[in-house]
Chains A and B, each alone.
Chain A
């Protein structure tokens, strides 16, 4: 299926492909973030991919925020390693992420790739696509079985390019800066010179990623092409992670500003920049 992003890269996977290629060392992770964590857990318990573990972004794919940081700073590598070991993940484990939106899964993908894991994929269309292809589901909690001969898990930070807030303050003018939030948030305030390209435009109401040509057209419209120097941000490094993923699928490298707007707006000096250098597309 050439029109799907999964045909271009191994980072995005289709449900039928997974069902056709069983793998004893595969872990599904359901990624959640909503405002009320109890509701998120309840919803996971009502039905998830059989064998999928529950990951709240705040607990697994982020560290607690500090007064200076964004809402979802990167996790401590050791915390992440301990969590993955509880799930019996090793360096060969095939990790498949999904969630209520493609962006939540993408945040998990980005963090795991950043931590040095390479066999990490996002399930196109999530739970719905899985069920529609005849995949099994389960209720309740999931306790992954321990492996008979567990392999060590080695993580190393830096597997994905990111950019610090200091660098963001002196971004060269030729950088294509993309704000992945919805238009209303963008219009309410953004980092100077950012162009708005809402991540939500990249998936259908059924939560499938849009076609290769649709997504390529979206990036063309903001000048995000293979030769450009691209930086993506959003509110807290979730929606933007999806754009890093789809850009990557198109063969276009980009850097993620993990702290995003929620880190940028912590400093009055930076907010003054935003106000004075406001560009509205």
Chain B
């Protein structure tokens, strides 16, 4: 389909993306990479400038690496040592009374620790930087048009199409655009959802949060402690500091303020100085923001030709840094499905696996973010009991210290470190061919590497013919990958033949052996990917294992790959009862 006006004067594209935040931009990037024509509309003039959403999980970093975004961000963001976990203070001047650290040694140790599981590592980068980087990558595709200053003001469905009216926020001129699908990535207050959404479930609201950006000489105190977030326990100054912005040099202080009118500057200054325990520190307030966080989950993530992703489908408190990350996972899950359905290679039913897979993760996400917020409140409130006189002295009792250090350890696992949340996602749907193996129960803190169908295909280091080191992660997308250790030649042929007949790219990758594409750098690849000799993993374009195959002959290999591909693409009904495959959500 071309992006050209039809006779009614409306532009036609394959997919309309509503919203140009990280989720919408990722959606546009991924669809554009597959040649799908995309029109993205964002009402803001450009990508974000808000000082929030800085946590890039390893799972997101892996996509960024695939998309060339990781490299663009190389010199962006906070150094590891300047964004290391969370500190807890009565006031900053008196030093931390408890801490959660992501790493105790230098940056190199941090990278090494993560290398066990990922070619990348969790990072802190301003949203303004990574949004601009994704935008840059998305704009390289000829089939993608990114339209800022463009607000969607009307959305309707007709058989075969979804129609929107887009208003230019500057000129107020309106355009009609039609597409075969629309992906709503327009945030927690989604306009598309308010028009077409089929109902939601709500959780607690965390309202009236004030965020102040300020300039002050804190390098030798807050800066030296090196936490990314520093929480103030003193009830009079309860709130948190964010570490110094790597570009602007501004510090952040956030607190709750239950009035519509912002506090006067002298009150803000007194509060910051009190929280710092530095009554005479010169401070320049630069900018004050107000945020409200509500909690909710959309019931149906698909309404006909409209699909919901990111905050439009699930929204929650920022504790854990789940918002942008889970939204980009949504985009990565949905993009290849839309592409294959648009190309006619997969049945429409493939789109239904999007909700089955991602809503299950979103349920865990909204619960965890809510729990993290309330859990910290519970720790702080409990800690404060009986400590009034100590707080007045800028300290807490030894008992309070012990209580705090014991309570914040699990809190750190759920809200900061959560390797299991980042890498241990397990999907169950008709686009996963179960083989009787059971994946480890998903857990927030711990991640257990497996190749059970439905999990993220694990990372292992490989070396190419030129001696260049790469990760298995770098091989995934935009097509399917059939990967195995010392794979038999006939898998290559089966993949080639089926790529042609199914109209889906399946690349066979042989690691190790005589006709290897790559050499394993160490024993990890064979340990993880070749537990059983001859096993081949079929990895979906999103990097998740669709199926595990094994065959003794050329014919068997072809038939086996043909069978699982037809199942994954929704061309054949699974023999397994549906109730078993996709839990009712």
Asked if A and B bind, the verdict is yes
Q: A46-B205, A46-B294 are in contact. Are A137 and B200 (CB under 8 A)?
A: yes
Interface SS of B by simple majority: mixed
Q: In the complex, A142→B197 CA distance in Å?
A: 10
Q: In the complex, A142→B200 CA distance in Å?
A: 13
**B299 interface contact, C-beta 8 A:** yes
Q: Is the CB of A139 within 8 A of B296?
A: yes
Q: Is the CB of A138 within 8 A of B294?
A: no
Q: A46-B294, A142-B194, A143-B195 are in contact. Are A137 and B201 (CB under 8 A)?
A: yes
Q: Is the CB of B200 within 8 A of A136?
A: yes
Q: In the complex, A138→B189 CA distance in Å?
A: 10
Mark contacts of B192-207 with chain A using CB atoms, 8 A cut-off: 1 yes-contact digit, 0 otherwise.
Answer: 0111011111100100
**B199 contact set on A, CB distance < 8 A:** 50-51, 135-138
**A47 interface contact, C-beta 8 A:** yes
Q: List the A residue with the shortest CB-CB distance to B191.
A: A140
**A141 interface contact, C-beta 8 A:** yes
**A151 interface contact, C-beta 8 A:** no
Q: Is the CB of A139 within 8 A of B205?
A: no
CB contact list, B264-280 vs A, under 8 A: none
Q: Is the CB of A131 within 8 A of B198?
A: no
Q: List the A residue with the shortest CB-CB distance to B194.
A: A140
Q: Is the CB of A139 within 8 A of B201?
A: no
Q: Is the CB of B197 within 8 A of A138?
A: yes
Shortest Cβ gap from A30 to chain B (Å): 15
Q: List the B residue with the shortest CB-CB distance to A51.
A: B199
CB contact list, A114-144 vs B, under 8 A: 131, 135-143
Interface SS of A by simple majority: loop
Q: In the complex, A138→B202 CA distance in Å?
A: 8
Q: A46-B205, A46-B294 are in contact. Are A140 and B189 (CB under 8 A)?
A: yes
**A135 contact set on B, CB distance < 8 A:** 199
Q: Which of A51, A136, A142 contacts B201 (CB 8 A)?
A: A136
Q: In the complex, A148→B552 CA distance in Å?
A: 60
Q: In the complex, A141→B134 CA distance in Å?
A: 32
Q: Is the CB of A131 within 8 A of B194?
A: no
Q: Which of B190, B191, B195, B198 contacts A50 (CB 8 A)?
A: B198
Q: Is the CB of B195 within 8 A of A47?
A: no
Q: List the A residue with the shortest CB-CB distance to B296.
A: A139
CB contact list, A44-84 vs B, under 8 A: 46-47, 50-51
Q: A46-B294, A136-B299, A140-B189 are in contact. Are A131 and B202 (CB under 8 A)?
A: yes
Q: In the complex, A184→B198 CA distance in Å?
A: 45
Q: Which of B194, B195, B198, B299 contacts A139 (CB 8 A)?
A: B194
Q: In the complex, A142→B296 CA distance in Å?
A: 17
**A47 contact set on B, CB distance < 8 A:** 202, 294
Shortest Cβ gap from A96 to chain B (Å): 15
Q: In the complex, A135→B199 CA distance in Å?
A: 9
Q: In the complex, A51→B205 CA distance in Å?
A: 21
Q: A46-B294, A136-B299 are in contact. Are A141 and B194 (CB under 8 A)?
A: yes
Q: In the complex, A47→B188 CA distance in Å?
A: 13
Shortest Cβ gap from B363 to chain A (Å): 15
Q: In the complex, A141→B190 CA distance in Å?
A: 11
CB contact list, A23-53 vs B, under 8 A: 46-47, 50-51
Shortest Cβ gap from B301 to chain A (Å): 13
Q: In the complex, A46→B296 CA distance in Å?
A: 11
CB contact list, B540-576 vs A, under 8 A: none
Q: List the B residue with the shortest CB-CB distance to A141.
A: B194
Q: List the A residue with the shortest CB-CB distance to B197.
A: A138
**B190 contact set on A, CB distance < 8 A:** 140
Q: In the complex, A46→B294 CA distance in Å?
A: 8
Q: List the A residue with the shortest CB-CB distance to B260.
A: A39
Q: In the complex, A17→B262 CA distance in Å?
A: 45
**A141 contact set on B, CB distance < 8 A:** 194
**B194 contact set on A, CB distance < 8 A:** 138-143
**B294 contact set on A, CB distance < 8 A:** 46-47, 139
**A140 contact set on B, CB distance < 8 A:** 189-191, 193-194
Shortest Cβ gap from B75 to chain A (Å): 39
Q: In the complex, A137→B299 CA distance in Å?
A: 9
**A136 contact set on B, CB distance < 8 A:** 198-201, 299
Q: In the complex, A44→B294 CA distance in Å?
A: 14
Shortest Cβ gap from A173 to chain B (Å): 52
Most chain-B Cβ atoms within 10 A of its Cβ — which of A50, A139, A142, A143? A139
Q: In the complex, A131→B296 CA distance in Å?
A: 13
Q: List the B residue with the shortest CB-CB distance to A143.
A: B195
Q: Which of B191, B200, B205 contacts A138 (CB 8 A)?
A: B200
Shortest Cβ gap from A27 to chain B (Å): 15
Shortest Cβ gap from B517 to chain A (Å): 50
Q: In the complex, A163→B456 CA distance in Å?
A: 72
Shortest Cβ gap from A23 to chain B (Å): 15
Q: In the complex, A47→B299 CA distance in Å?
A: 14
Q: In the complex, A140→B187 CA distance in Å?
A: 12
Shortest Cβ gap from B482 to chain A (Å): 42
Q: In the complex, A142→B191 CA distance in Å?
A: 10
Q: In the complex, A49→B414 CA distance in Å?
A: 32
**B189 contact set on A, CB distance < 8 A:** 139-140
Shortest Cβ gap from A143 to chain B (Å): 7
**A46 contact set on B, CB distance < 8 A:** 205, 294
Q: In the complex, A102→B194 CA distance in Å?
A: 26
Q: In the complex, A139→B297 CA distance in Å?
A: 11
Q: In the complex, A135→B195 CA distance in Å?
A: 18
**A139 contact set on B, CB distance < 8 A:** 189, 193-194, 200, 202, 294, 296
**A142 contact set on B, CB distance < 8 A:** 194
**A131 contact set on B, CB distance < 8 A:** 201-202
Q: Is the CB of B195 within 8 A of A137?
A: no
Shortest Cβ gap from B2 to chain A (Å): 32
Q: List the A residue with the shortest CB-CB distance to B299.
A: A136
Q: In the complex, A152→B190 CA distance in Å?
A: 33
Mark contacts of A234-275 with chain B using CB atoms, 8 A cut-off: 1 yes-contact digit, 0 otherwise.
Answer: 000000000000000000000000000000000000000000
**B195 contact set on A, CB distance < 8 A:** 143
CB contact list, B246-265 vs A, under 8 A: none
Q: In the complex, A50→B296 CA distance in Å?
A: 13
Q: List the A residue with the shortest CB-CB distance to B294.
A: A46
Most chain-A Cβ atoms within 10 A of its Cβ — which of B191, B202, B294, B299? B202
**B198 contact set on A, CB distance < 8 A:** 50, 136
Q: In the complex, A139→B202 CA distance in Å?
A: 9
Shortest Cβ gap from B528 to chain A (Å): 42
Q: In the complex, A51→B195 CA distance in Å?
A: 10
Q: In the complex, A176→B189 CA distance in Å?
A: 51
**A137 contact set on B, CB distance < 8 A:** 199-202, 296
Q: In the complex, A41→B477 CA distance in Å?
A: 46
Q: In the complex, A131→B295 CA distance in Å?
A: 14
**A51 contact set on B, CB distance < 8 A:** 199
New A-B pairs, 12, CB < 8 Å, besides A137-B202, A140-B193: A46-B294, A47-B202, A136-B198, A136-B199, A137-B200, A139-B189, A139-B193, A139-B194, A139-B200, A140-B194, A141-B194, A143-B195
Question: Contact residues of B with A, CB < 8 Å?
Answer: 189-191, 193-195, 197-202, 205, 294, 296, 299
Question: Contact residues of A with B, CB < 8 Å?
Answer: 46-47, 50-51, 131, 135-143
Sorted nearest first, the 5 A-B pairs with minimum C-beta distance are: A136-B199, A50-B199, A140-B194, A47-B202, A137-B202
Q: List 10 A-B contacts (CB under 8 A).
A: A46-B205, A50-B199, A135-B199, A136-B299, A137-B199, A138-B194, A138-B199, A139-B189, A139-B202, A139-B294
